[in-house]
Amino acid sequence: MEPARALRDIAYELEKRGEPTYRVRAFRNAASVVDKLTPERLTELARTHRLTALKGIGAATASVIEDVLAGNVPEYLRKVEAEEAPELPDGGALLPALRGDCHTHSDWSDGGSPIAEMAEAARALGHEWMVLTDHSPRLTVANGLSAERLNQQLVVVAQLNEELAPFRVLTGIEVDILLDGALDQDEDLLWELDFVVASVHSELRMPRKEMTARMLAAVANPRVNVLGHCTGRRVAGRHRPESEFDAEKVFEACRENGVAVEINSRVDRLDPPKRLLKQAVELGCEFAIDSDAHAPGQLAWKAHGCARALECGVGIDQVINTRTADDLLAWRQY
């Protein structure tokens, strides 16, 4: 076992258990620091107990490195692996049918890992592609991407796709739906992206009539491909009630405008609620079963979305991420 691999394995185990992003990031940052050191330099710093002098290496991560260099399985890794991870549900025939994930985040916004690590983890799950959907600029709490930063990200993704082929990272964004239903990013730049997920992140308690109008305006925008976590609810951690809107009107608009309704698989969201998911099925909507992963270990959470989809009558042919990347791009309604 190599020190950087051990640090990333710990981060992955923490992610599977839903640990806070900042805790996971400490181990992934430490792994990045180790990657830049020669084995000789790393060994010397460990031998003289000076690892913590390096920016990004703390007491816990230093102990992991020292354990590995001494030929031992890190005690921290043993401890994490001994903690029981939440069991994933049976995703039935839907789970292996998923070819990709339409909603993922990296450390460019509020995720905990570089784009490459997210892509490699998605590939390890057997996926053929993933859409990178970091946040838009208005969501400053999530380090949303300005137009300039998003353009920079497009260059990085293009280079990464050359390295990872045939796996593909599709360019995208989770764009904030503003109060009037407009999208929080330069319109011309949105047309350069492969995929757009539109979500409400602010004023979640606005009156039903106004929220309905807001969502209808966004869904009618030809640049939107997926309506993300439609109720905005939180069912774990800091609980948050559902936003109120006319679900029938919104889901009908999704169907008519070729916008998929997201089945958000995050264990703290599980959005939409089953009653609304069943309603969307009855209205003939298409769906995207997404992880909304902010770390590699969360990509597998799509099992939750698959289980809910099956329970509510969603068919495989209604799920857009059962398609190849080329078929997905051809599906976009614009």
Query: pLDDT averaged over the chain?
Result: 95
Q: Above 90 in pLDDT, residue 236?
A: no
Answer whether the bond into residue 241 is a cis peptide, omega within 30°. Answer: no
Q: Compute the distance between CA of residue 12 and CA of residue 10 in angstroms, rounded to an integer.
A: 5
Q: Above 90 in pLDDT, residue 333?
A: no
pLDDT value of position 113:
87
**How does pLDDT run across 274-285, given as a tens digit for each residue?**
999 999 999 999
Do residues 232 and 206 lie in contact, with contact meaning Cβ atoms separated by under 8 Å?
no
Average pLDDT over residues 301-306: 97
Least confident of 8-12, 95-99, 104-108, 180-184: 8-12
CA angle 25, 29, 31 (to 5 degrees): 120
Do residues 276 and 85 lie in contact, with contact meaning Cβ atoms separated by under 8 Å?
no
Average pLDDT over residues 230-235: 96
pLDDT value of position 86:
77
pLDDT value of position 69:
96
Q: Above 80 in pLDDT, residue 84?
A: no
Average pLDDT over residues 259-281: 97
**How does pLDDT run across 191-210, given as a tens digit for each residue?**
999 999 999 999 999 999 99
Instruction: Name which of 279, 124, 130 is nearest 197 in CA terms.
Output: 130
Q: Above 80 in pLDDT, residue 166?
A: yes
Q: How confident is the model at residue 326 (pLDDT cuts 50, 70, 90)?
A: very high
Q: Above 90 in pLDDT, residue 237?
A: no
Q: Above 80 in pLDDT, residue 74?
A: yes
Do residues 279 and 248 lie in contact, with contact meaning Cβ atoms separated by under 8 Å?
yes
pTM exceeds 0.85 for this model: yes
**How does pLDDT run across 290-300, given as a tens digit for each residue?**
999 998 989 99
Q: How confident is the model at residue 147 (pLDDT cuts 50, 70, 90)?
A: very high
Tokens 């401890």 correspond to what residue? 79
Tokens 């992880």 correspond to what residue? 291
Q: Compute the distance between CA of residue 147 and CA of residue 224 in angstroms, rounded to an integer.
A: 17
Distances in Å between the alpha carbon of 287 and those of 18, 65, 101, 272, 273? Answer: 25, 44, 12, 11, 14
pLDDT value of position 19:
80
Q: In the chain, which ranges are continuous DSSP H helix?
A: 3-16, 21-35, 39-47, 59-69, 75-82, 94-97, 115-124, 147-164, 187-190, 208-220, 247-257, 274-282, 302-311, 325-331
Instruction: Please list, in sequence order, all residues whose beta carbon lies within 8 angstroms of the beta carbon of residue 54, skipping any fewer than 6 positions away.
Output: 33, 45
Q: Above 80 in pLDDT, residue 73?
A: yes
Do residues 113 and 107 lie in contact, with contact meaning Cβ atoms separated by under 8 Å?
yes
pLDDT value of position 255:
98
**How does pLDDT run across 7-66, given as a tens digit for each residue?**
999 998 888 787 877 888 899 899 999 999 999 999 999 999 999 999 999 999 999 999
Q: Above 90 in pLDDT, residue 315?
A: yes
pLDDT value of position 30:
95
